[in-house]
Amino acid sequence: MVSCGAGRAALRLSVFLLSAMFLFIAAAADDAAHDDESTPKSATCSNRFQLVKVRNWVNGVESANLVGLSARFGASLPRHASEAQQWPSALANPFNCCTNLTSKLSNSIALAKRGDCTFTAKAIVAQAGGATGLLVINNDEVEVLLYSPERPVVDLSATFLWLMAVGTIICASLWAEFIVCEPVDERYNQLEWKDQTGAGMINRENEKEILEINAKGAIIFVLAASAFLLLLFFFMSSWFVWLLIVLFCIGGVEGMHVCLVALFSRICKVCGRKTTSLPILGEVLILSIVILPLCIAFAVYWAANRHASYAWIGQDILGICLMITVLQMARLPNIKVASALLSCAFVYDVFWVFISPLIFHESVMIAVARGDSSGETIPMLLRIPRFFDPWGGYDMIGFGDILFPGLLVAFSYRYDRANRKGIANGYFLWLTLGYAFGLLLTYIALYLMDGHGQPALLYLVPCTLGLIVILGWIRGELSDLWNYGNSQSRDRIVTDV
């Protein structure tokens, strides 16, 4: 039978799996939607939007650069500041540029004062007067330089994010092999299984709280994720994001605590054996008591300073620890369940990124990931600043794009180990390479699509699930992979999701 520890496992994992419910895309953040097809066009106003960097000088002193969007009319801007042309400027007449102009503005930038009508109305009047651009100005002496620099073809920040995602999956898969110490004393086992004859308790090596996902639970999970995504899209506000931040901190603290206790127990085996008795909790590790307040303090500090320029470091540390712990606690029994989970997640990701704009007039996934309606960003993702991009912003990848393929990669490692397979004739190495290649394809697509968010699972699922199916079929092991675990059900502690 399963002891009360299994109930605690289900409760703790429910917090972790809530984070995985956000299958966010591997996309660039903080970018303007500069090619919105829903904006009005005409035969003479049909240019693609360009992000525009505006260098400006007020009274001879250079101010902070501004970022804007080009208009539907006018010439395209150069990519480099050295190629930018200094257009002559001319005052609009009338100065507010709200009614038909009496002055000729051909091949000039119209200068108009702010107010009296909308910016769009001013732009329409300036266009009718032949202006190549429009600047709304104040009463100070202003100099400007307009250009539209290109993004770098290879962004090192994206490379670091790629390494973090791949490294998280590798670390989680090998965690039990290289980090977890030898079996602990039977007194501290949390999960125990007793056979029907009552002959005795059977200890598992490296006792852990494990939830084994089944096909039904996988499908329900993805449907619940869709419902929750819609809830966020329509009702997300600052207090709702705060609720998600609190949940993220709880999961991050738990994940960091588990990882640090395991690491220090591995380094100092004596520390991993000293215990004390506490009311209600019973006998616990002293090391665990010492580390827990540090983890809580780390999460609280991150939450309080989450808008700081360095906050991404704390968010990534908490997220990686959380995902490593999730991949230790949740397991796929075979590729039959993996096919159900990843296929549903594949459709989910593609639908909410590419198809949802046809229904909701914008990508639901991207809008939620950016936090458009709340002004806050969702914490359930890894992110890193684009240090070498002139436009700034962040590269990011959602937890789901790591966790769902990671469950399959971790399964492949357990399968290889159980069947004594080598590196070359096993599956773990090839699925790890497949995941890395799929994530690389995601970033290539992100670049080719000019920074528009991509459903990462569109590339990751074929490169992982498709790869293991093809390899299994070629090696004649597909049937065993498909039904693996059915005959060993009594050898593992199972709590179905």
pLDDT at 179: 74
C-alpha 298/C-alpha 320 separation (Å) is 14
pLDDT at 193: 35
- Domain C-terminal end among 147, 173, 206: 147
Mean pLDDT of the chain: 76
Say yes or no: 101 and 172 in one domain.
no
Instruction: Say whether pLDDT at 59 is over 60.
Output: yes
C-alpha 33/C-alpha 398 separation (Å) is 20
Say yes or no: 438 and 381 in one domain.
yes
* pLDDT tens-digit series, residues 104-117: 777 777 777 777 78
Q: Is residue 279 part of a domain?
A: no
pLDDT at 480: 92
Q: Is residue 118 part of a domain?
A: yes
Q: Is residue 343 part of a domain?
A: yes
Instruction: Say whether pLDDT at 4 is over 50.
Output: no
Say yes or no: 396 and 473 in one domain.
yes
Say yes or no: 114 and 58 in one domain.
yes
Say yes or no: 135 and 164 in one domain.
no
- Domain C-terminal end among 95, 121, 147: 147
* C-alpha torsion sign, points 268, 269, 273, 279: positive
Show which residues are catalytic: 349, 401
C-alpha 229/C-alpha 368 separation (Å) is 8
pLDDT (average), residues 120-140 = 73
Q: Is residue 449 part of a domain?
A: yes
Cis peptide before 94 (omega within 30 of 0): yes
Does the pTM surpass 0.85? The reply is no
pLDDT at 71: 65
* C-alpha torsion sign, points 219, 220, 223, 225: negative
Say yes or no: 59 and 203 in one domain.
no
Say yes or no: 382 and 475 in one domain.
yes
Among 187-196, 277-286, 354-363, 476-485, which range has the highest average pLDDT? 476-485
pLDDT at 281: 72
Say yes or no: 87 and 232 in one domain.
no
Say yes or no: 123 and 168 in one domain.
no
- Percent of the chain at pLDDT > 90 equals 27
Q: Is residue 46 part of a domain?
A: no
* pLDDT tens-digit series, residues 6-15: 444 444 544 4
Q: How many domains does one find in the chain?
A: 2
Is residue 464 very low, low, confident or very high in pLDDT (cuts 50, 70, 90)? very high
Say yes or no: 368 and 435 in one domain.
yes
Q: Is residue 103 part of a domain?
A: yes
pLDDT (average), residues 410-429 = 92
Q: Is residue 246 part of a domain?
A: no
- Domain C-terminal end among 114, 147, 180: 147
276 phi/psi in degrees, rounded to 5: -145, 160
Q: Which domain holds residue 164?
A: 4-32+159-237+320-491
Say yes or no: 204 and 71 in one domain.
no
pLDDT (average), residues 459-480 = 94
Say yes or no: 337 and 209 in one domain.
yes
Q: Is residue 423 part of a domain?
A: yes
